[in-house]
Chains A and B, each alone.
Chain A
Amino acid sequence: MKINFKKLLSRNETVLIFAIVIFAFVIGSKSPEFFTLANLFDILRSSFVQLLFALGVLIVIISGGIDVSFPIVGIFAGYTAVVIMQKFELNGESLLIPIVLAIVIGVLLGGFNAIAIAGFGIPTLIATLGTAGVFRGVMLSFVGASFISDIPIALDKFSTADLIKFESEAGTLVRLHVLVIPIAVITVLISLMLSRTFFGRSIYALGGGVESTRRLGISVKRTQTKIYMLVGGLSGLAGILYVSLQRKANPYDLAGSELDVIAAVVLGGASIMGGYGTVFGTVLGVLFINMIKNNLVLLGVSSSWQRAAVGVLLVIGITIQAISENRKNRQRRSATETEGE
């Protein structure tokens, strides 16, 4: 089979890889620290939680929706799991209990999103904006509003569970967290789900056209319900891992992280109009955003500019999408013309 280079070049993933390489060289040329294993592992560590959130957002965006409630769902699930552990004096040695708790809470909260979206047909942005407010309010008034620093022992220990750990020649500690394995597994599973299962293809179908999907005999409501519950579960898992990695449960955390995550997914090539997007692109998008955020300082850019930088990237990503869409439309029109002859 011949590889179509033109097609390959026009793919979002290819563009993103180039962008990552170029940025890496720019930053690396200014600061030799960039090209160290320690820095690479740092970028990976800061990407774990974000990637889980991003995979959820990717699924929602492919289906033609948008979810802005995931950071709240994440911290709600993570914080509540810790509170439940303490209140009912559950076995603090167990890592599994808080994780399962958080996932279950996430799925439940996702279920509320599903009720609003699939049940009442509320536009996804408004629905999740609304539920985000409700979840936050419920958490702060009923679960708790105080910072918890003595999280269960297993969660606390897990933050330093490293797969690789050694001291480099320069004397810095090089650590790769064990999470890299489960996160990789989850990423591959989501990718397989999207490309190889009927449910995954229904998500793409939904993004291609709601009415067409319904006419095919695919239940739109059922598919949406599954999507939002799955995304809730992913967010819950992300939330508890965040709590563990930070070694504290702060109910005010994560709010505002939606910008980074959505920017990563859009830069990764997912169309905000729905129907398009890949897991590989999202992984690249997350790595790209984290590389930039972690290393702007090395370039001498003040950290207060990080948010602005991510915002600019998001706008650039969407602009590229809009321009290529316009160009395609023109080509399409002429293609129809010539074929009609």
Chain B
Amino acid sequence: MIKTETAQYSVEQIVKSFGGARALSNVSMSVESGEVHCLAGENGSGKSTLIKIMSGVHAPDSGIIRLAEKEFTHLSPREAVQEGIQVIFQDFSLLPNLSVAENIALPTRIFNNTKFISKKETRNIAIEALELIGVDMDITAPVADISIASKQLIAIARATNLGVKMLFMDEPTTALTRKEINRLFQVVDQLKKRGVATVFVSHKIDEIQEICSTITVLRNGEVVADGLMKDFGAKEISKAMTGQDISTTRIAPMLKKTNKQVLEVKKLTSTHTFDEISFSVAPGEILGITGLLGSGRTELAEAIFGKYPVDSGEIVINGQSVELNSSTAALEAGIGYVPPDRLTQGLFLEQSILRNLVAVGVDSYKSKLGMLSPKKLIEVGSRWISDLSIKTKNSANPVTSLSGGNQQRVVLAKWFAMKPRLMILNGPTVGVDVGSKREILEIIKVRASEGMSFVVVSDDIPELIQICHRVLVIKNGRISREFEESELKDSLLYKELN
């Protein structure tokens, strides 16, 4: 017989600020045993913060956490685990150096407060946990060596092991194929029958509607809607999330017909990663590239910029073949690249905004003697700040003083200053709030209508539909389908992706 858990978990009037910025204001939410509750909201709406507070990672500034009969002002991660709260984080939070079995068994150890560990017991806990969700895999392998989908299953097995009463899943489907998602949903159903309360976080409205019975929508740290799922349609949910009517109206500029190509990629191959990829981009064209995690989309984008090793193929810019595997050659040919993680790869965070703006093109600002004139630099910097409406009082402030959206604009400006023919943007709006996202897409649009070409790599389908002229879907390192402007519908794209 399956043991049924009972849980009633609620938070009331939660307030949390980070260094003056309010992340959550007066948020209340409650989940009951056997309920699958959807927590929806755009990036930066406060979902992750709320989960972290509910699972004891962060302490709230004020508010009450209520677990069954107990009341807390804040939880420690250990208390949370011992109260039966488990979180499946977006990055899974697994330990790569430990075996699958140990990764699964650790929370049970903490739950039981075990001091001594036997390998046999570890094995048994892991096998039992995997059986519970109907999965079979090699439990002795180190987690570092297994695929993303398997990692997800381990994270689930680990979290749903005995003792779990309250489960948080933070965007659990991002890395999964449709088949794997179906399996995940079966697991969630089982948990529901066991009486586990589940909070399911996702952007994907079709999935939310399929699996959840209740919903809470956050926007800018406030609850803007909550209730039974059946009272909400897809439109209402996305309106609540964004605060505007569905914003997938296309803003891509008209494309002038031409036979010229700015970029031609011919049979580009990197063993094990992508295979014989060919496509081209016309002047002023915005080409979207999408695919699941691990499909090779990011590596392809990096390869065009010479950052990811390529084994064979050709890259042609304006009719001229470019040396492969060299970022310097790519730069000289007029290719710009904005990485997905702007914070670690695209910016010198502690340096001033001005210095960041002029960093890439610094060679072109040199005087004849090879000296940099501060006056010239300030002139160039100020122009970009006003051109891209970067919100700052003083360009001498460090980049860290800017919001995510403004930081992304600094990255873009830095590259635009080079006057590239082609910009590759990898995840241009990741971690950027809704308003800034709009403005960034507007910036792309304006530059494209002036003739700059773009390759936009993203897993945000609505965004691609909004801005792109064409979209390529990459699967297992190959172009599985090309969508022309007239075919750009999210249902079609989602279907092709999964």
Contact = CB atoms under 8 A, between A and B. Distances in A.
A328 B143 CA distance: 13
Interface string A208-242: 11011111111100000000000000000000000
B18 interface: no
Interface in B127-154: 144-150
A216 B85 CA distance: 11
B87 A215 contact: yes
A339 interface: yes
A334 B78 contact: no
A205 interface: yes
B106 to A, nearest CB: 6
Interface in A294-341: 328, 330, 332-341
Interface stretch (B88-96, B189-197, B386-394): B88-96
A11 to B, nearest CB: 13
Contacts of B147: 335-336, 339-340
A276 to B, nearest CB: 6
B254 interface: no
A223 to B, nearest CB: 12
Contact of A218 (B89, B110, B146, B476): B110
B296 A209 contact: no
Interface in A244-303: 274-276
A197 interface: yes
Interface in B285-301: 292, 294-296
A207 interface: yes
A130 B362 CA distance: 38
Contacts of A196: 116-118
A161 B78 CA distance: 49
A218 B87 CA distance: 14
A215 B89 contact: yes
Contact of B78 (A219, A333, A337, A339): A219
A341 B82 CA distance: 39
Contacts of B253: none
A204 interface: yes
A207 B97 contact: yes
Given A334-B273, A336-B294, A214 B476 contact: no
Given A197-B115, A337-B294, A217 B272 contact: no
Contact of B93 (A197, A204, A215, A333): A215
B97 A217 contact: no
A341 B476 contact: yes
Contact of B106 (A216, A275, A336): A216
A204 B95 contact: yes
B109 interface: yes
Contacts of B295: 340
A206 to B, nearest CB: 9
Which one of A196, A201, A274, A275 has the greatest number of beta carbons of chain B within 10 Å? A201
B77 A198 contact: no
Contacts of B95: 204-205, 208-209, 212-213, 275
Contacts of B110: 216-218
Given A214-B57, A218-B110, A335 B145 contact: yes
Interface string B241-272: 00000000000000000000000000000011
A333 B272 contact: yes
Interface residues of A, number: 36
Given A275-B97, A339-B147, A339-B149, A214 B117 contact: no
B60 interface: no
B76 to A, nearest CB: 8
Given A208-B95, A216-B77, A276-B97, A336 B107 contact: no
A197 B296 contact: no
Interface residues of B, number: 44
Given A201-B117, A216-B81, A341-B476, A332 B93 contact: no
B273 to A, nearest CB: 6
B63 to A, nearest CB: 21
B87 A332 contact: no
B459 interface: no
Contacts of B476: 337, 340-341
B80 A334 contact: no
A197 B116 contact: yes
A217 B273 CA distance: 37
A340 B294 contact: yes
A200 B114 CA distance: 12
A217 B77 contact: yes
A233 B475 CA distance: 55
A208 B96 contact: yes
Nearest to A218: B110
Nearest to A275: B97
Interface in A109-158: none
A198 B114 contact: yes
A217 B118 contact: no
B77 A215 contact: yes
Given A205-B106, A217-B80, A332 B144 contact: yes
B273 A337 contact: yes
Contacts of A330: 272
B463 interface: no
B120 to A, nearest CB: 11
B123 to A, nearest CB: 13
A201 B77 contact: no
B117 A197 contact: yes
Contact of B273 (A205, A214, A328, A333): A333
Contacts of B115: 197-199
B97 A212 contact: no
A38 to B, nearest CB: 40
B272 A337 contact: yes
B244 to A, nearest CB: 34
A211 B150 contact: no
B294 to A, nearest CB: 5
A283 B144 CA distance: 26
A337 B77 contact: no
Contacts of A276: 97
Contacts of A197: 115-117
Contacts of B114: 198
Q: Most chain-B CB neighbours within 10 Å: which of A196, A198, A205, A330? A: A198
Interface of A: 195-201, 204-205, 207-209, 211-219, 274-276, 328, 330, 332-341
Interface of B: 55-57, 76-78, 80-82, 87, 89, 93-98, 102, 106-107, 109-110, 114-118, 144-150, 177, 271-273, 292, 294-296, 476-477
8 contacts: A196-B116, A196-B117, A200-B117, A215-B77, A217-B77, A219-B76, A336-B148, A340-B177
Given A204-B98, A212-B94, 16 more contacts: A195-B117, A198-B117, A207-B97, A208-B97, A211-B93, A212-B93, A214-B57, A216-B93, A217-B78, A330-B272, A333-B273, A334-B271, A336-B148, A340-B148, A340-B177, A340-B295
